[in-house]
Structure 1
Amino acid sequence: MASESNVDDNLHVDEYIEKESSDDELLYMDDVDANFGKLMVLNYFVANKGSINGKTPCRTSFLTRKMYTLEILNGHPDVCYRNFCMQKHVFMNLCDILKEKGLLKDEKKVSVEEGVAIFMMIVGHTTRYNVIGDRFQHSNNTIHKWFKRVVRVVISIGTEIIRPTNQDIVHERILRKYPFFKDYIDAIDGTYVAVWAPALRQSSFRGRKTNVTLNLMLTCDFDMKFTFVYCGWEGTANDSRVFVDAVIRSSNNFSMP
């Protein structure tokens, strides 16, 4: 009987040892799995260190900053007109005027010529900041800053640029067309310019093209120079109504022979 009890005790001890060892093995396997997972994550970060921690350059064109502007200005005249919507000499005269008046000056990263080129490409081609930034290799913040800066200075000298010409002399182009255009001085037309308006007033600014716009009346001579610009009317306003208002109001100083 004593031997049988010893055998039972040994069996219980063996079972306890096996159970304890199996639990240890399970715990060890759990630790291995956890460490393996951590090791895999670590290997992933090490393998992709350049793409995670480093920044991939976005604007890598060889024509960095003002090199593109210089290439356009030193190239064919038609290329300058297509890109900047100005003849080369007109573009350079505008830049010189802005410099002489102290309205703009060269900075470390952007020159006056480059700033005016950015402004002309946005206005002339309705191009987005992202596209202009890729073209001139500048951030959107720099493009936005210079666009607003050039807009302000151009508006400030608007009264010097837009002014009536001598109307006492008949233009030579009219003389060639006598008598069909006898006594013609200027050409008048209207255009729509996209604007922002409060939500409560947008209905009056939506013209026939459903966009929120202003109806502008423009007058130019036969040298294609603007002599009068009248803006402020909503996009729904009729062209004749804008014209009558521009002529009747004495404060507009509408030039009439």
Structure 2
Amino acid sequence: MALTAKIQLLVALRFFASGSFYRVVGDTFGVSVATVSRCVSNVSIALCRIAHRFITVPVGNAASETKRGFFDIAGFPNVIGAVDGTFIRIIAPKTNENDFVNRKGFHSLNVQMMCDHRLRITNCYADWPGSAHDQRIFKNSHLGRNLENGNRNQQM
């Protein structure tokens, strides 16, 4: 019996929110491990396809509002976002395994994110192994290159 799109979404969201094993999530919904895996994959692909509609660097009026917001919160002028990196724990990959060990000693991706004054994610770059330094990631990202070149009104 096929799962509805709503149930697939709920299964994937439960997995994303809990970080639990597929078996635990599957038991919650009464579905198999393979079904949970397919739900997580399908929903992840769907989210990636539409992410650009929701995760965008502010430009124009949105940039002005963000700058005002950061100034109101902290007195920082001309800020369009707060950028930082975070480690997302992963299972050790079979190739280049050592590249994914971060400075804290576990396997991860080093994900760079930027948020606005309302804590909405406006940029996400998740292409680097855990051992990569935040500065290296920033310098090689579209966000970093565009800001460095003064291209603040382009999508990053």
Q: Which has the higher contact order (CA 8 A, sep 6+)?
A: 2
Percent identity between the two aligned chains: 23
CA shift at 1:153, angstroms? 1.0
Counterparts of 1:112-191 in structure 2, within 5 Å, are 112-165=5-58, 166-170=62-66, 173-177=69-73, 180-191=75-86
Structure with the higher fraction of residues in strand conformation: 2
Higher helix share: 1
Is structure 2 residue 93 aligned with structure 1 residue 197?
A: yes
2:105 matched to 1:210?
yes
Q: 1:109 to 1:198 in 2, by over 3 A?
A: closer
- Give the whole-Å Cα distance in 2 for the aligned partners of 1:155 and 1:197: 22
Q: Which amino acid aligns with 2:16?
A: V
Q: Which runs of 5+ in 1 are unaligned?
A: 1-107
Partner of 2:137: 242
Aligned-residue Cα RMSD (Å) equals 2.6
CA distance in 2, matches of 1:254, 1:217: 20
- How far is 1:145 from its partner? 1.8
Given the two structures, how large is their TM-score scaled by the length of structure 2? Answer: 0.77
Q: Is the 8 A contact 1:191 1:217 kept in 2?
A: yes
When the two structures are aligned, how many residues end up with a matched partner? 146
Deviations along 1:129-165, one digit per CA (max 9) or x if unpaired, are 1111111111222222222111111111122221122
- Structure 2 distance, partners of 1:223, 1:254, is 24
TM-score where L is the length of structure 1: 0.50
CA gap of 1:160–1:254, structure 2 versus 1, over 3 A, is farther
- Are the counterparts in 1 of residues 100 and 107 from structure 2 also a CA contact under 8 Å? yes
Q: Deviations over 1:13-70 (max 9, x none)?
A: xxxxxxxxxxxxxxxxxxxxxxxxxxxxxxxxxxxxxxxxxxxxxxxxxxxxxxxxxx
Question: Which residue number corresponds to residue 88 of structure 1?
Answer: none
